Structure 1
Amino acid sequence: MQGRAAALGAGTVLNALATGTGAAFGIDLETRATVELDPDADGVVGTIAEDPDADTDLIERCVSLATDRWGDGEGGTVRTDSDVPLAAGLKSSSAAANATVVATCAALGLTVGDDPTDPAIDVTRLDACRLGVEAARDAGVTVTGAFDDATASMLGGVCVTDNGADELRSRAEIEWDVVVWTPPDRAYSADADVARCAAIASMADLVADLALDGRYAEAMSVNGLAFSAALGFDPDPAVDAMPHAAGVSLSGTGPSVVAVADPDDPETDLDAVAKLWSDRPGTVLHATTDSAGAFVIDN
């Protein structure tokens, strides 16, 4: 009873902390999970390859919830490895949860897909996503439930969600080049100042309107400036990038900043953004958007 799966990292269009409405987009950085189930095992033991001392409550909870709901309560082991930097605002928790839930379904012999009317589909990706969000709340790694981050990681594309109701409001496929700057510091979503974010709810409503109108890049830039101020991050990296990018934002609760551009737009230059950001401490990553989402890795 073994399953392997991968899920995406993601960048932010709208931070959901202010109003509960959020938006995010999948990028081609992956977290992979390997799950081995044993009906005789007492509980679940998790390992995170990049940090053996890291808290594994989230991925262990994902396996337990999945086997309780769709299996017979099997225990076992789960191991993740990832291209997504931890605690950097690039949705590492959502990616780990999604990969783990899909891998657990694979270990149970269940088919995960998108069409709930297809008799060949045992578990929809949205239901798998909701279970991962439930595990994240149980593990205390999120304030909002991060359904926006989770759907972008699971489904790919850009997703706008109601995080209070765990409902997908819209989804679109996009093709952007992406540059990410991650400073040396780390920030944890559960530590974010929710009250400060609530103070900019009117700006978040504006960002939501832009996103629901399909103006995702503009929405990002407004979100980035507003939430950098609310969460106490320096807006200079985003401002420096704006002349060269279609959109740029603080991702999640930071500290990463993400810039995007249509690869066919001659008025944008993400290489220039990368050069500017490479003068700052930290790392610069090049990526692209991904509209395919999470998938099972064939053994």
Structure 2
Amino acid sequence: MRGRGFAYGAGSIVNAIATFKGASFALPLKTEVFVEFGEDLKDVSGEVEGGGNPFLIEFCVREWIKRFGYNGGAFVKISSEIPQASGLKSSSAAVNATILACMNAFGVEMSAVEVARWNAEISLKAGVSITGAFDDAITSLVGGVVISDNKKGEVLKRREIEREVQILIPEGKVESGKVDVERCRSIAPVIEIAFDMAMKERFEEAMLINGFPYCSALKLSTEPIIQALREGVRGVTLSGTGPSYVAWGEVRGWGKYGRVIKSYVNNRGVMKYEES
């Protein structure tokens, strides 16, 4: 049995680590997964196109096999446009794409929320996320701007919005599962304000309020945010736990800090979001 699946990356509006409530927007950066199951295969093996560690996609397929009681193994391969450990939700997209590939192979149907909840469970078990990142998982699937409660695994609001996006990717990586959680939780009173702004659909203000305290908690530079503000861009923040930054608009001075990608808010998604 063979299957294919894909999912998208995302950028932060409000990081959920501090309060378990988050908001993010989908990007058109894509992750694709191919999986082949066989009863003659004794284990799960994986391959990352271009090199890398296949642990997460192998872990995900093993979880699928456990859940559905398949008597065999699998080969799984991933290719991705999303930089790893950069704050652009590469892990959420990888798990989503793997689940969707397995669904395709087995002919199984799930809703977007069901996939995102299972994604969060797998991400926690694999140790690649602190909150499970339900918010990032659902955004990766349905597109647009999504506001979520990670503890409850619920979508609070989804909106489609047209925005040009600029992504800054400095040197280095930050693995979400290894950040200082206590420092991030200490900024919760400020992040609550950012989340309130997001719920009021004042997304650019939410991004700005989110950015400075998380940079401080994670000991990352605020200079890219300052540069954006100097150029009149208000919707700017650290994405995830970094090291990437995202801005709704063009920041001409970002080139001196690292690689810059021009993008946009992706409203399409790979699954339909149905309000409950």
Same fold (TM over 0.5): yes
Task: Kindly indicate whether residue 244 of structure 2 is the aligned counterpart of residue 256 of structure 1.
Answer: yes
Report the equivalent of 2:27: 27
Q: How does 1:275-286 map to 2 (within 5 A)?
A: 275-280=252-257, 282-286=258-262
Question: For residues 74 and 286 of structure 1, what CA distance do their matches in structure 2 show?
Answer: 43
1:70 Cα deviation from its structure 2 partner = 4.6
Q: Which runs of 4+ in 1 moved over 6 A?
A: none
Q: Does the Cα contact within 8 Å between 1:248 and 1:260 map onto a contact in 2? A: yes
1:294 Cα deviation from its structure 2 partner = 2.7
Report the equivalent of 2:45: 45
CA gap 1:74/1:155 in 2 versus in 1, 3 angstroms: farther
TM (norm. structure 2) is 0.93
Count of residue pairs brought into register by the alignment:
270
Question: For residues 205 and 10 of structure 1, what CA distance do their matches in structure 2 show?
Answer: 21
Question: For residues 112 and 221 of structure 2, what CA distance do their matches in structure 1 show?
Answer: 37
Aligned AA (2:191)? A
Aligned AA (1:79)? K
Report the equivalent of 2:131: 144
Deviates more, 1:146-155 or 1:68-77: 68-77
Q: How does 1:161-240 map to 2 (within 5 A)?
A: 161-240=148-227
Aligned AA (2:232)? H
Question: For residues 169 and 69 of structure 1, what CA distance do their matches in structure 2 show?
Answer: 28
Match of 1:293 among 258, 266, 269: 269
Secondary structure in 1 matching 2:248: strand
Question: For residues 219 and 247 of structure 2, what CA distance do their matches in structure 1 show?
Answer: 19
Match of 1:245 among 214, 222, 233: 233
Identity in percent? 40
Aligned AA (1:133)? A
Q: Does the Cα contact within 8 Å between 2:21 and 2:148 map onto a contact in 1? A: yes
CA gap 1:57/1:13 in 2 versus in 1, 3 angstroms: same
Report the equivalent of 1:7: 7
1:71 Cα deviation from its structure 2 partner = 6.3
Secondary structure in 1 matching 2:261: strand
Secondary structure in 2 matching 1:185: coil
Q: Does the Cα contact within 8 Å between 2:119 and 2:134 map onto a contact in 1? A: no
Deviates more, 1:59-68 or 1:207-216: 59-68
Report the equivalent of 2:75: 77
Q: Does the Cα contact within 8 Å between 1:99 and 1:294 map onto a contact in 2? A: no
Report the equivalent of 1:104: 102
Secondary structure in 2 matching 1:237: helix
Task: Kindly indicate whether residue 79 of structure 2 is the aligned counterpart of residue 60 of structure 1.
Answer: no
Report the equivalent of 2:119: 132
Unaligned runs of 5+ in 2: 272-276
Secondary structure in 2 matching 1:123: coil
1:131 Cα deviation from its structure 2 partner = 1.6
Q: Deviations over 1:114-135 (max 9, x none)?
A: xxxxxxxx21122112222211
Q: Deviations over 1:222-243 (max 9, x none)?
A: 1011211111111111111124
Q: Deviations over 1:28-82 (max 9, x none)?
A: 1011111111133223111111324x2x222112222234435635421111111
TM (norm. structure 1) is 0.86
1:150 Cα deviation from its structure 2 partner = 0.8
Report the equivalent of 1:115: none
Question: For residues 180 and 73 of structure 1, what CA distance do their matches in structure 2 show?
Answer: 43
Q: Does the Cα contact within 8 Å between 1:34 and 1:78 map onto a contact in 2? A: yes
CA gap 1:291/1:70 in 2 versus in 1, 3 angstroms: farther
Question: For residues 37 and 189 of structure 1, what CA distance do their matches in structure 2 show?
Answer: 30
Q: Does the Cα contact within 8 Å between 1:9 and 1:31 map onto a contact in 2? A: yes
